């Protein structure tokens, strides 16, 4: 598979789709002599074929790119001429994707691809001329327009009726795939052939695309059992708007029914449990509905590892898998070797908070997934835990300690202060009683 560089030559990638050193790499030193040409030729060949470290990082898998925080990407790209300013566009993409619902994992992969493309472009510019990189103005402008388009399309669907986007899931998926291709076109400006660029994302995207399509189809099948004619509604926008209340009532009933299945673990088969878990996960993903504020049990939240990622005075925080999918933070409270009655007392207090939290629908409050109670390993005692979405940077102070010296940090601090103020305004009722 050819890999095209700025010189116009076609080269073969050294390993898979990874590009070799661009043709602009420094040539062999002129002091090479014929008498010692074996050693020097080998050294020169190695030098030419060595891929710079920043290109290695930029060509990491799409999964690795998705795991990077915006702060990490900003720190890497800020010094790069023409590419650094595009982080502002990338920030808007992150914000829009965060609010997406239908085909959310595909949107996340597209966000990761935006990161990957900017890092590849940044590495090419850094290693091959900086501000003198060929046609850098044109390439940066093309990237800016594409990032802005991705943000606008994600925001467009965010503003639509939830059920309308649910019915248009196939159309949205096709559009997301088209946006991937537009990013590939941008990479041509940075010495990457289209087929090479596509190979960097297509297999991971196709896997996620097919899984989300199956999940949506399964949920549609469940809705038909409630006499909801989705095929007819999909062709009549006015029917969608007229029946939105009824549709969400059905979805809420389905969510409640499947939640009961999850709670009755001892009476539920593995297949029925997995089926209920997947349907609940899909409903939570494509709508603003939330789980009933009830006590979580056992298999709903499974630890990734037994070592906490963060410890505090009153609790330890672990990463876990929630409902077989989303990675969450499981906060286990240190109640000592508490008896079940004591844990239940604290659980009731937490459930009052959960009931209040459950009714909030704000961009400034972290969703609350519930409180759990489980037996302490090897004993008859119990421990209490809370489940919420996993925040990569933990909290504002941890984030600022790590990134306060980065370019644009002051702007981030002001944004965090504004969001804390907004969250304080919508949480006046959350008090311990």
- CB neighbours (10 Å) of residue 137? 10
Average pLDDT score over the chain: 78
Phi, then psi, of 372 in degrees rounded to 5:
-125, 155
Task: Assess whether pLDDT exceeds 50 at residue 211.
Answer: yes
| Axis crossing angle, helix 136-158 with helix 87-98, rounded to the nearest 10 | 20
* Rounded distance between C-alpha atoms, residue 233 and residue 106, angstroms: 25
What's the rounded Cα separation, in Å, for the pair 140 and 120? 12
pLDDT of residue 432: 38
Percent of the chain whose predicted confidence (pLDDT) is above 90: 36
> Could you give the CA distance from residue 64 to residue 19 in angstroms, rounded to a whole number?
18
Among the residue ranges 34-48, 153-167, 279-293, 330-344, the one predicted with the least confidence is 34-48
pLDDT band at residue 29 under the 50/70/90 scheme: very low
Choice among 80-94, 105-119, 146-160, 305-319 with the minimum mean pLDDT: 305-319
Q: State mean pLDDT over 102-112.
A: 96
Q: How high is the pLDDT of residue 411?
A: 63
How confident is the model at residue 103, as a pLDDT? 95
Give pLDDT, residue 47.
40
Q: CA triplet 329, 399, 108: central angle to 5 degrees? A: 60
Higher pLDDT, 426 or 179: 179
| pLDDT for 182 beyond 70 | yes
- Per DSSP, the three-state class of 301 is strand
pLDDT of residue 373: 75
148 vs 322, more confident? 148
> What is the reported pLDDT for 89?
97
* Angstrom distance (rounded) from CA 261 to CA 282: 16
Closest CA to 318 of 67, 338, 328, 326: 328
Q: Per-residue pLDDT for 325 more than 80?
A: no
In this prediction, residue 431 carries a pLDDT of 44
Least confident of 53-67, 93-107, 257-271: 257-271
CA angle 312, 318, 323 (to 5 degrees): 140
With cut-offs at 50, 70 and 90, classify the pLDDT of residue 192. confident
Residue 207 clears pLDDT 80, i.e. is over it: yes
Q: Is the pLDDT of residue 213 over 70?
A: yes
Q: Where are the domains of the chain?
A: 1-47, 48-215, 217-286, 303-426
CATH class of 303-426: alpha beta
Mean predicted confidence (pLDDT) in 10-20: 35
pLDDT, tens digit (0-9, with 9 covering 90-100), for 370-428:
777 777 766 666 777 888 888 776 666 665 666 566 655 566 666 656 665 555 555 55
Torsion of CA 341, 360, 150, 56, to 10 degrees: -30
């Amino acid at each position: 598979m050819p890999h095209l560089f700025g010189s116009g030559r076609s080269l073969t990638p050294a390993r898979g789709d990874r590009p070799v050193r661009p043709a602009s790499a420094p040539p062999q030193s002129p002091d090479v002599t014929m008498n010692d040409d074996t050693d020097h030729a080998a050294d020169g060949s190695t030098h030419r074929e060595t891929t710079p470290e920043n290109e290695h990082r930029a060509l990491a898998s799409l999964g690795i790119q998705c795991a990077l925080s915006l702060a990490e990407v900003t720190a890497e790209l800020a010094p790069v001429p023409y590419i650094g300013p595009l982080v502002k566009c990338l920030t808007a993409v992150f914000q829009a994707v965060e609010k997406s619902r239908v085909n959310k994992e595909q949107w996340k992969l597209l966000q990761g691809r935006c990161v990957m493309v900017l890092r590849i472009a940044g590495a090419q510019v850094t290693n091959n001329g900086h501000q003198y990189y060929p046609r850098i103005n044109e390439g940066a402008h093309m990237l800016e327009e594409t990032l802005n388009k991705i943000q606008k399309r994600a925001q467009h669907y965010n503003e639509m009726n939830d059920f309308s986007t649910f019915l248009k899931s196939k159309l949205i998926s096709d559009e997301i795939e088209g946006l991937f291709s537009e990013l590939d076109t941008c990479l041509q400006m940075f010495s990457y052939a289209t087929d090479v660029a596509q190979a960097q994302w297509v297999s991971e995207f196709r896997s996620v695309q097919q899984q989300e399509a199956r999940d949506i189809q399964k949920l549609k099948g469940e809705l038909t059992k409630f006499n909801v004619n989705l095929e007819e509604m999909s062709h009549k926008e006015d029917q969608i708007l007229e029946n939105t209340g009824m549709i969400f009532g059905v979805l809420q009933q389905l969510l409640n029914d499947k939640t009961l299945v999850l709670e009755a673990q001892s009476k539920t088969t593995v297949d029925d449990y997995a089926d209920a878990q997947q349907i609940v996960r899909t409903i939570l993903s494509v709508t603003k509905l939330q789980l009933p504020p009830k006590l979580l049990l056992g298999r709903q939240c499974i630890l990734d590892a037994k070592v906490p990622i963060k410890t505090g005075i009153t609790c330890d925080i672990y990463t876990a898998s929630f409902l077989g999918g989303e990675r969450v933070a499981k906060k286990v409270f240190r109640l000592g070797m508490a008896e079940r009655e004591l844990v239940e007392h604290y659980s009731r207090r937490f459930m009052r908070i959960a009931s209040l939290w459950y009714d909030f629908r704000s961009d400034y409050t972290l969703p609350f997934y519930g409180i759990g109670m489980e037996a302490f390993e090897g004993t008859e005692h119990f421990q209490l835990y809370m489940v919420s979405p996993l925040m990569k940077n933990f909290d504002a102070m941890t984030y600022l300690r790590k990134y306060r010296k980065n370019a644009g940090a002051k702007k981030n601090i002001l944004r965090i202060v504004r969001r804390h103020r907004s969250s304080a305004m919508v949480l006046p009722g959350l008090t311990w009683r």
